[in-house]
Structure 1
Amino acid sequence: MSPSLPPLRARVAGRTALIVLMLGALLAALSATPASAQTAELPDVFTEAVDSPTSDDVAEVVVVHGVPGLVVDVLVDGDAAIEDFRYGDTVVTELPAGTYDLGVAAAGTTTPILTLDDVEVAAGTSYSVVAHLDADGDPVLTPFTNETADSGIQAFHVAAFPEVVLLSGQSVLADDVANGDTAKFDLPGGAVVDDVGIGLAGTTDAAISLGDVTVPDDTVLLVYAVGPGLDFPDVSADNVHRDNILLLANRGVLLGSEDGTFRPARSVTRGQLASIMARTAGLEPATGPYDFEDIADSVHAGNIQVLADAGIVAGFADGTFRPSQPVTRAQAASLIGRWLEVDEVADGPFTDVPAGAEHSGYINALAAAGIVNGRTDTTFEPKASLRRDQTASIIGRSLDQLP
């Protein structure tokens, strides 16, 4: 559970900064917007006003804790300025203009575990300092300048997942925002932005939604997405496919099970592989009529059909696609080979893939390109079912070769 700490509202140089903190990259846990000023429907919304800077010689610093599992003290020049700072906490403070060494230490200690040395803050300027996870899940401390010159929305990508987009419905406001980056979208006071959200890069589907947002006059809405990316308890650190599993899961390409596991050894069905490929390529599912008589009731029907329309997937002689049937390693090679538009290769290294055999040209081509591996150096096991973890690595290695 997130702490019930009131977020803070601050005024700098005549412009108000409103703070929204999103925990776990899925739940908007704190909002600094008064109910009368924003229409976004957020759970656990609290407000508290803080005084404007008492002098033209001070800077405002918004401090955000986005590292799960750590209780820390925030250090300014070696002294604890904020104590017992917990995941999800947000504090606005003032510092006289100058240069500082900032850090965080385990609560009750003064030995920093994260540091920012020689940080210069200017009078009348607003900054954010965020302890968060980088894209690899490692804790870091990142400073930002809050862009308060014009009203609008400023988003901070400080969660442990890949690049994101800032969305209004299906429209992209800012794209390819990487971990540790910020993006600002200027809006006039009183503007209403429909269905504001944050999604994974390359998509227009929001993983985090704020709903409709009204930007009050002279206001900047600061939005921080913090927390860990997706992980699975049954994907161990020594699983050779782990990096690709997490990469594609956090892009919304691979989906876990309802119990939070990934089930890496489970076979992938023909329908599932079609959906994985279509989502990876950013293709919109097709609507009927369908080319195959047995897919209308399948959740994968639209993705199967859009790939069929592109000549990537084919069915069986009896007019079926068999979406629930496990896909073999050989079938997958042909599907992915056509998807990547590679040229077939006659000869390859695998003794169980004879020249001229069905699917052999694509198996050999993908092996030569480093996209598929054999079960051994000389065997491919073409009739074996493709596993979920193997699929992740094949798709992950295909990303740079998509047409």
Structure 2
Amino acid sequence: MRKTLLAGATAGALLAFGAVTPALAISDTSADLSVLHGIPDTPVDVYVNGELTIDDFQPGDLAGPLDLPAGDYEVALTAPDAADASSPVLGPITLTLAANTSYTAVAHLTEAGDPTATLFTNDISETAAGEGRLTVRHVAAAPAVDILAGDTAVVEGLANPDEATLDLAAGTVSASVVAAGTTSPALLGPADVTIADGQLTIVYAWGSLDDDNLALAVQTIDGLYSAPGGVNSGTGGQLAQQDAMMQGGLLIGGLVAAAVLAGGGVLIARSVARR
């Protein structure tokens, strides 16, 4: 069964993997974790602390958000239906989760095409009224890229596994992406994307350029700002959605579109913990 979340894990942290809900509050003792599978052509089983927690996890799938007690978790990816985690495809790796923090763990390829994993911290700090936040994460086996607004690069040299985050006025904008240091031809776009008020949109470029299987995954987190009459969850609570993985020209353009409004103001992500 595709992406079956197994119940019956004994530890409370593992039980959280089997109880995915559309909205979870982050407490002073827990963290919020989503998991993205970004290694092409490699379905896996996921073991956490030695227990099988996600069965037949498919490339491009997103699990979570998961509400977990703060602490260390040992994660290993194995071939589907492996008897145990003794011969992992990737890992075991240790994920250290701090309380009151939102994370996404991504299994992906390095620029050279080797399997690896990166733990990203999601910026769920409050946005201003009328603004949304876009985070772009490069987790593909591909060289660095530039993001253009017209013929001007507003994000330069975005490389695997870096990310760029921008707070933008809500609305629809357009941009294109090119190989780093060039202005043409456009590898992707130009295309439009909508920036939603009070929402964090995270776009992941994953796959392999050489194998011609580059793809996009999109994760959204609501509640960064609420209009008058609403409740702002801030960093103490997160309304998270598990979006369908979206591919194609529109979203690949959306990967970079918000840079038009950024005026070159790029915030390279907080901390990226590698394996």
TM-score scaled by length of structure 2: 0.59
Tell me how large the CA RMSD over aligned residues is.
2.7
Q: Is 1:202 paired with 2:181? A: yes
Deviations 1:349-380 (A, max 9, x none): xxxxxxxxxxxxxxxxxxxxxxxxxxxxxxxx
Deviations 1:4-55 (A, max 9, x none): 99xxxxxxxxxxxxxxxxxxxxxxxxxxxxxxxxxxxxxxxxxx98122374
Aligned to 2:124: 148
Q: What are the residue-to-residue correspondences of 1:217-236 with 2, within 5 Å? A: 217-231=197-211
Deviation at residue 140 of structure 1 after TM alignment: 1.2
- Flag the 1:54–1:137 CA change in 2: closer, same or farther, 3 A: closer
Percentage identity across paired residues of the two chains = 37
Find 1:92's aligned residue among 49, 61, 64. 64
Aligned to 1:103: 76
- Flag the 1:82–1:123 CA change in 2: closer, same or farther, 3 A: same
**Is the Cα–Cα contact under 8 Å of residues 144 and 157 in structure 2 kept in the other structure?**
yes
Aligned partner letter, 2:109: L
- Flag the 1:198–1:54 CA change in 2: closer, same or farther, 3 A: same
Q: Is 1:165 paired with 2:137? A: no
Unaligned runs of 5+ in 2: 4-19, 213-275
Aligned to 2:193: 213
Aligned to 1:253: none
Aligned partner letter, 2:81: G
Aligned partner letter, 1:76: V
- The 2-side partners of 1:77 and 1:53 are apart by 23
Segment drifting more, 150-159 vs 204-213:
204-213
Deviation at residue 121 of structure 1 after TM alignment: 0.9
Aligned partner letter, 1:214: T
Q: Which has the higher helix share?
A: 1
Relative CO higher for 1 or 2, CA cutoff 8 Å, sep ≥ 6? Answer: 2
Deviation at residue 218 of structure 1 after TM alignment: 1.7
SS of 1:142's partner is strand
**Is the Cα–Cα contact under 8 Å of residues 21 and 65 in structure 2 kept in the other structure?**
no
Deviation at residue 204 of structure 1 after TM alignment: 3.6
- Flag the 1:73–1:218 CA change in 2: closer, same or farther, 3 A: same
**Is the Cα–Cα contact under 8 Å of residues 137 and 162 in structure 2 kept in the other structure?**
yes
Deviation at residue 214 of structure 1 after TM alignment: 2.4
- Flag the 1:53–1:75 CA change in 2: closer, same or farther, 3 A: farther
Q: Which has the higher strand share?
A: 2
Deviation at residue 160 of structure 1 after TM alignment: 0.7
Deviation at residue 93 of structure 1 after TM alignment: 2.9
Aligned to 2:55: 83
The number of aligned residues is 185
**Is the Cα–Cα contact under 8 Å of residues 72 and 94 in structure 2 kept in the other structure?**
yes
- The 2-side partners of 1:147 and 1:173 are apart by 21
- Flag the 1:49–1:118 CA change in 2: closer, same or farther, 3 A: closer
- Flag the 1:199–1:214 CA change in 2: closer, same or farther, 3 A: same
- Flag the 1:119–1:195 CA change in 2: closer, same or farther, 3 A: same
- Flag the 1:147–1:169 CA change in 2: closer, same or farther, 3 A: farther
- The 1-side partners of 2:177 and 2:75 are apart by 29
**Is the Cα–Cα contact under 8 Å of residues 72 and 84 in structure 1 kept in the other structure?**
yes
Aligned partner letter, 1:152: R
Q: Is 1:62 paired with 2:38? A: no
Q: What are the residue-to-residue correspondences of 1:324-363 with 2, within 5 Å? A: none
- Flag the 1:223–1:170 CA change in 2: closer, same or farther, 3 A: farther
Q: Is 1:175 paired with 2:146? A: no
TM-score scaled by length of structure 1: 0.42
**Is the Cα–Cα contact under 8 Å of residues 131 and 141 in structure 1 kept in the other structure?**
yes
- Flag the 1:60–1:135 CA change in 2: closer, same or farther, 3 A: same
Larger radius of gyration: 1
